[in-house]
Amino acid sequence: MLTALHKHLLNDFQRDFPLSSRPYLDIANALGVSEGEVLSALTELNDKHFISRIGPIIPPNQLGVSTLVAMAIPEQQLQTVADMISAYPEVNHNYEREHCFNLWFVVIATDSRHLQAVLDAIEQETGYKAMSMPLLDDFFIDLGFKLDLHHA
């Protein structure tokens, strides 16, 4: 069950996350709770898989190089492979799609050599082929969502 604090953390800080030396204290002050309560609530959200990371989403190829990757993974292996991929710091996020290519993710690396090394490592570790689809045309998709805060 999501508490009102959980919902505010999920809803109010998808954008404009405080850029300071104590961002969680800034969030706590904005919500009228303690920094410890914010950190505890974020830990709970992570443990329950409501969030997987807190960090910036950088537009493609603004820092280094990136590519969208799709993989065809047997259903019974999907979570295991997704967990392996999520462990790579170069992986921005991954998600399941209803398609024969059912696992999709973005890889960001310092340069094309580094990018290829990450893709090779992912293929070696998982045993599955990674189909790289580099950006040709830029389209912005807002991944944010609004929660109904009235049912807290």
What share of the chain has pLDDT > 90, as a percent? 63
pLDDT per residue over 14-53, tens digit each?
878 899 999 999 999 999 999 999 999 999 999 998 888 8
Contact 105, 113 (CB under 8 A): no
pLDDT of residue 152: 47
pLDDT per residue over 61-72, tens digit each?
667 888 999 999
Q: Is pLDDT at 13 greater than 50 in this prediction? A: yes
* Ranges 9-18, 52-61, 77-86, most confident: 77-86
* pTM exceeds 0.85, yes or no: no
